[in-house]
Copies of this chain bind each other. A is one copy, B any other.
């Protein structure tokens, strides 16, 4: 068994945390921002130092590759992203890139024999925080392989025209062109040149920590659906309109939210998660009864039959009157559960066992570039324990020990995959 270097991992965490440092423990590192470009330059510097060859595809995805003993063998790729959400932490995304770099560095420094070329890859704009959508560039690159219901959301021209959420004018295409990281389409991840795909990521949840396990052997990305629930009432004046005649859309939404929690919780599936994170209120004036309120509903579970049961509850909202208001539901998107490649999952589990690292099977509730890569190549993921389950916030944390363990597990799993033809 080989082990990665905690010293190098600690140094990388410290170094990359500077790029986009927001001043209170976390980072804001939008894709193609100066901070993201600093992170790319650091990756280039480190990868060139171990003799890796760097390729950049037409959407800025970067591939640092060291050769294997078989010049005809396809590459094994380890990927993640360097961009973050606004006021995010120092681990989401970047840990997977650092882990991939650390695997290559260990292999080069310790001269570990391997047959296939090995690639440490950066996906561009995974978060989609400045230029939506999330997983933009894995979507573009894997486009032809994606299922029909997802594909149309990632058309190249549409993605290049994606507007900044800050100035509503500048586009992702402009930022990409200006970045100097617009390379050649021929370098895109493809089954012709690549054999299989690994991605290491923080768990972003509390399950590993609660169970006392360092590493998650990820078996799938949960299926999900996303709806908008819209409530229509009547605006009236706060001071002049008697209570019994009001049609308050905010009150309607609050009642429906309580109903959803009651009914969904009654189903009794402990692994089911659902989130109502985004709201809109109109006219949103303190002296007016709201005539419109909507909220998003994001529901995730492995089993499509469970998702169907929740969907029935959501649909029943439309048939009811809420505080005198009507309700309309609107589907935003859905995705089926994506299962990782069984042999690769097995290699990750074996690597944990052989390294003596505490581990468990776990589902990924979050979406990752890996789920799009999985339509193109055999793919899997490795999760590293998150402190308190926090992510997408500055308190996001994983210990250097756990981060290094994650890289060591990936190293040994990659070497197992390397032994295949």
In the complex, A287 has a CB within 8 A of chain B: yes
Pairs of residues from A and B, 4 with the lowest C-beta to C-beta distance, nearest first: A239-B365, A205-B240, A238-B275, A254-B254
Q: Are B300 and A275 in contact (CB under 8 A)?
A: no
Q: Which residue of B lies closest to A221 (CB)?
A: B239
25 A-B pairs in the complex with CB atoms less than 8 angstroms apart: A86-B283, A203-B240, A204-B240, A205-B236, A205-B240, A224-B239, A236-B389, A238-B277, A238-B298, A238-B300, A238-B365, A239-B364, A240-B389, A241-B273, A242-B270, A243-B270, A248-B276, A251-B257, A251-B276, A275-B286, A277-B283, A279-B281, A279-B284, A287-B392, A288-B392
Q: Name the distance in Å between A355's Cβ and chain B's nearest Cβ.
A: 24
Q: Are B290 and A277 in contact (CB under 8 A)?
A: yes
In the assembled complex, the Cα of A277 lies from the Cα of B285 at a distance in Å of 5
In the assembled complex, the Cα of A180 lies from the Cα of B393 at a distance in Å of 51
Interface centre among A222, A253, A255, A389 (most CB of B within 10 A): A389
Q: Are A273 and B389 in contact (CB under 8 A)?
A: no
Collect the chain B residues with CB atoms within 8 Å of residue A365's CB.
237-241
In the assembled complex, the Cα of A243 lies from the Cα of B276 at a distance in Å of 12
Q: Are A285 and B278 in contact (CB under 8 A)?
A: yes
In the assembled complex, the Cα of A274 lies from the Cα of B246 at a distance in Å of 11
Binding site for B on A (CB under 8 A): 86, 203-207, 222, 224, 226, 234-243, 245, 248, 250-251, 253-255, 257-258, 261, 265, 270-279, 281, 283-291, 295-296, 298, 300, 332, 364-367, 389-393
Collect the chain B residues with CB atoms within 8 Å of residue A300's CB.
238-239
Collect the chain B residues with CB atoms within 8 Å of residue A298's CB.
238-239, 286-287
Q: Are B241 and A250 in contact (CB under 8 A)?
A: no
Q: Are A251 and B261 in contact (CB under 8 A)?
A: yes
In the assembled complex, the Cα of A222 lies from the Cα of B242 at a distance in Å of 13
Q: Name the distance in Å between A254's Cβ and chain B's nearest Cβ.
A: 4
Collect the chain B residues with CB atoms within 8 Å of residue A242's CB.
205-207, 270-271, 273
Collect the chain B residues with CB atoms within 8 Å of residue A261's CB.
251
> Of B236, B275, B285, which is within 8 A of A288 by CB?
B275
Q: Which residue of B lies closest to A253 (CB)?
A: B254
Collect the chain B residues with CB atoms within 8 Å of residue A276's CB.
248, 250-251
Q: Are A235 and B281 in contact (CB under 8 A)?
A: no
In the assembled complex, the Cα of A295 lies from the Cα of B389 at a distance in Å of 28
Q: Are A205 and B237 in contact (CB under 8 A)?
A: yes
Q: Are B239 and A366 in contact (CB under 8 A)?
A: yes
Q: Name the distance in Å between A402's Cβ and chain B's nearest Cβ.
A: 16
In the assembled complex, the Cα of A236 lies from the Cα of B389 at a distance in Å of 8
Q: Are A391 and B275 in contact (CB under 8 A)?
A: no
Collect the chain B residues with CB atoms within 8 Å of residue A237's CB.
204-205, 365-366, 391-392
